[in-house]
């Protein structure tokens, strides 16, 4: 009696491997995109912490330079994202509710369905009272929002406002 696999057994194994690959490869690409996008919440969190510390001391919304924020990468450009700050100088609280985009990130490359240069993440800073800031994490599309948890989908203009 000869030992070995029959042609049918080999074909069954190949079919099973094909099914596993068909299911696993898209999941793998999704996980890779989420891993690349994980840079955004970390960078935004650093911005928020520095802004909170600066605001508690000065009672104004600070520019990146004044709060000591350095965006990831070189000059605010990492492999996957380009970062920008919308405040060129400190913005004092005047007694009226004030809302500004203080931090933005734009993806430079495709991240699954979130196409390059179209995905914008932003941190909206609202001064509701002296020494009381609130922050809202925004993303401009649901496709990009799937990559970051707890970011509200909202329209975000390319310009600072």
For 10-64, the pLDDT digits (tens) are: 999 999 998 888 887 777 777 888 889 999 999 999 999 999 999 888 878 889 9
CA atoms within 13 A on the CB side of 127: 22
Closest CA to 103 of 156, 141, 153: 156
Largest CA distance in the chain: 92
Closest CA to 47 of 89, 83, 97: 83
The pair phi, psi for residue 35, each rounded to 5°, is -65, -40
Is there a contact between 52 and 60 (Cβ–Cβ < 8 Å)? no
pLDDT tops 90 at residue 113? no
DSSP 8-state symbol, 149: T
Give the position of tokens 């993806």.
Answer: 107
Question: Could you read off the pLDDT of 58-99 as tens digits, one per residue?
Answer: 878 889 999 999 999 999 999 999 999 888 888 877 767 778
Q: Which helix (H) or strand (E) holds 65?
A: helix 64-67
Quick one: angle between helices 7-37 and 39-58, nearest 10? 20
């Amino acid at each position: 009696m000869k030992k070995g696999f029959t042609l049918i057994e080999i074909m069954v194994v190949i079919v099973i491997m094909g099914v596993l690959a068909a299911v696993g490869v898209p999941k793998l690409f999704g996980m890779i995109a989420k891993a690349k996008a994980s840079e955004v919440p970390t960078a935004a969190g650093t911005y928020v912490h520095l802004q909170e510390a600066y605001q508690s001391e000065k009672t104004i919304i600070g520019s990146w330079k004044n709060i000591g924020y350095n965006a990831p990468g070189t000059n605010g450009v990492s492999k996957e994202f380009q970062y920008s700050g919308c405040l060129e100088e400190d913005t004092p609280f005047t007694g009226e509710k004030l809302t500004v985009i203080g931090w933005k990130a734009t993806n430079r490359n495709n991240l699954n369905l979130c196409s390059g240069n179209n995905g914008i993440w932003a941190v909206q800073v609202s001064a509701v009272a002296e020494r009381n800031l609130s922050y809202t994490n925004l993303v401009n599309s649901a496709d990009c929002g799937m990559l970051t948890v707890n970011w509200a989908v909202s329209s975000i203009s390319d310009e600072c406002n």
